[in-house]
Amino acid sequence: MGQSVEIKDVWKSFGGFDAVRSATVKIQAGEFLSLLGPSGSGKSTLLMMVAGFLQPTSGKILIGDEDVTAVPANRRGIGMVFQKYALFPHMTVFENIAFPLKMRKLRRSEIESRVGQALDLVKLRDLGSRLPIQLSGGQQQRVAVARALVFEPPVLLMDEPLGALDKKLREEMQFEIKNLQQSLGVTMVYVTHDQEEALTMSDRVAVMNHGEMQQIADPKTLYREPGSPFVADFVGKMNLIEVTYVDQTASGALLKTAGGNRFSIQNLAVSTPDPERPMKIAARPETIALSRRNETSGTLLEGTIHQCVFMGSMTMVQVIVGPEDEVVYVQTEADASYKPGEVAYLEFDGSRTSLFAHGPDEN
């Protein structure tokens, strides 16, 4: 059964540079938490510290109730699956999976039965005598999972484990790993830069950028109520438009784009109406309605159609608003037929649009 993992105000600096800044999160026993972020965001560094391969510069890491910050990696009892699997090339599949048990000095018969179970678990029953090099990428992945699970660790860490697989296999493995994790009840910390993967697999996702945890939330909240422009932009497709507040009218908040176009949004909550302060609105392509005529009572944002991309179940329309060719993506039904150059109007849904103060420290 899983154990909780607590990361308490963990910092890591490399020669004056802070790779991880004040990371704090409590992962419940049996929870699936993803660390999501672009490369260099500090997510792998944080995972390495949980695994015990790196020492935090300051802060604490607890597994269950035990402070393991000073415990070396080989005594933490955490399972880990590495980016390129890190299978021992000179050992067979059986020997690879038996290795953690051998290190724990289990009896030979015990090792054999448990490796057998682990092989069954990952559906590789007949491949025990193969060498890793004789396996496909997906099979190697499974061996790595079996090796990490065979000693029944309370916590399992995975560092972009599916990065090397092709798309179809990756999706298959996502479900398998998720099922395995749930049925074993093991606590999972999963590092990925693929936001789709994080959303489909996790109970909660911690989004990291520049060493900081920007937001920790369940996938739905993360998608619908991003806590910062970075999260909004990184998770899913998001339009970020720079605006300033003008006035509150009958048809909602009246805003002005950087190019001077005015438009209003119904039901948009503006906490600090300050005409001086630049802001950003964040709206997903599927929350914006597109029309050829401005037929509502409010003022809609006017734009010019740039391009329509047919994507199977829908069509993505790129609309240029403002003089500086800012593109807004709008998702329409599959057979929408807009032509480049046509004038169109964008209607935002205030309840599904976020507003961010455009601070000086954001990029």
Partner 1 sequence: MRTSIAAKILFASFIALALFLMVLPTLIVFPMSVGTSNYLEFPPKGFTLDWFVAYFGDEEWMGATWFSLKVACATTLAATAIGTMASIALVRGRLPGKSLIYALTLSPMIIPHIVIAVALYLFFAPLRLTGNFYGFLIAHTLLAVPFVVLTVSAALQRFDPMLELAAQSCGANSIQTFYHVMLPGIVPGVAAGAVFAFLTSFDEATVAFFISGLEGKTITRKMFEDIDFNLTPIIAAVSTVIVGASLLLMTAVHFLQNRQRG
Partner 2 sequence: MSIKEPHNAGRSDSRILYGAGMSWSLILPWLGLLVVGFAYPVFKLLSGSFFDDGFTLVHYQRAVTEPLYTAVLLRTLRIALIVTVCALLVGYPIAYAISKLVRPWSMVVAACVLIPFWTSILVRSYAWIVLLQRKGLINTLLIDLGVTSEPLRLLYTEFAVILAMTHVLLPFLILPVYGALKTIPADLPMAAYNLGATPIKVFWKVVFPLSLPGVFAGCLITFILALGFYITPALVGGPNSLMMATLIGQQTTQVLNWPFAGALATILLITTVVLAVMFRTLLAKNRGFSSGI
Interface size with partner 2, residues (CB under 8 A): 12
Identity of the residue, 151 or 263, whose beta carbon is nearer to partner 1 in the bound complex: 151
Identity of the residue, 23 or 54, whose beta carbon is nearer to partner 2 in the bound complex: 54
Sole window of 27-35, 36-44, 221-229, 309-317 interacting with partner 2 (rule: CB under 8 A): 36-44
C-alpha distances in angstroms, 272 versus 298, 356, 357? 22, 11, 9
363: contact with partner 2 by CB under 8 A: no
Q: 311 touches which of partner 1, partner 2, none (CB within 5 to 8 A by kind)?
A: none
Identity of the residue, 91 or 169, whose beta carbon is nearer to partner 1 in the bound complex: 91
88: contact with partner 1 by CB under 8 A: yes
Q: Considering only residues 19, 23, 145, 235, which one is a binding residue for partner 2 as defined by CB under 8 A?
A: 19
Q: Give the chain as a 3 state SS string.
A: CCCCEEEEEEEEEECCEEEEEEEEEEECCCCEEEEECCCCCCHHHHHHHHHCCCCCCEEEEEECCEECCCCCHHHCCCEEECCCCCCCCCCCHHHHHHHHHHHCCCCHHHHHHHHHHHHHHCCCHHHCCCCHHHCCHHHHHHHHHHHHHCCCCCEEEEECCCCCCCHHHHHHHHHHHHHHHHHHCCEEEEEECCHHHHHHHCCEEEEEECCEEEEEECHHHHHHCCCCHHHHHHCCCCEEEEEEEEEEECCEEEEEECCCCEEEECCCCCCCCCCCCEEEEEECHHHCEEECCCCCCCCCEEEEEEEEEECCCEEEEEEEECCCCEEEEEEEECCCCCCCCCEEEEECCHHHEEEEECCCCCC
Identity of the residue, 15 or 341, whose beta carbon is nearer to partner 2 in the bound complex: 15
Q: Considering only residues 72, 185, 273, 340, which one is a binding residue for partner 1 as defined by CB under 8 A?
A: 72
Min. distance of Cβ 55 from partner 2 in angstroms?
Answer: 10
Q: 151 touches which of partner 1, partner 2, none (CB within 5 to 8 A by kind)?
A: partner 1
Compute the Cα dihedral for 303, 304, 306, 312 and give only its sign.
positive
Q: 90 touches which of partner 2, partner 1, none (CB within 5 to 8 A by kind)?
A: partner 1
40: contact with partner 2 by CB under 8 A: yes
Min. distance of Cβ 82 from partner 2 in angstroms?
Answer: 11
Buried b (16+ CB within 10 A) or exposed e, 147-176: bbbbbebbbbbbbbbbeebeeeebeebbeb
Min. distance of Cβ 157 from partner 1 in angstroms?
Answer: 8
Compute the Cα dihedral for 245, 248, 254, 260 and give only its sign.
negative
167: contact with partner 1 by CB under 8 A: no
Q: Considering only residues 10, 48, 101, 301, which one is a binding residue for partner 2 as defined by CB under 8 A?
A: 48
Sole window of 74-82, 244-252, 278-286, 313-321 interacting with partner 1 (rule: CB under 8 A): 74-82
Q: Considering only residues 9, 26, 58, 90, which one is a binding residue for partner 1 as defined by CB under 8 A?
A: 90
Q: 310 touches which of partner 2, partner 1, none (CB within 5 to 8 A by kind)?
A: none
Contacts with partner 1 in 130-159 (CB under 8 A)?
A: 147-148, 151, 157
Q: 148 touches which of partner 1, partner 2, none (CB within 5 to 8 A by kind)?
A: partner 1
Q: 15 touches which of partner 2, partner 1, none (CB within 5 to 8 A by kind)?
A: partner 2
Residues that bind partner 2 (CB under 8 A): 14-17, 19, 39-40, 44-45, 48, 53-54
Residues that bind partner 1 (CB under 8 A): 51-53, 72-75, 77-80, 82-84, 86-90, 99-100, 103-104, 147-148, 151, 157
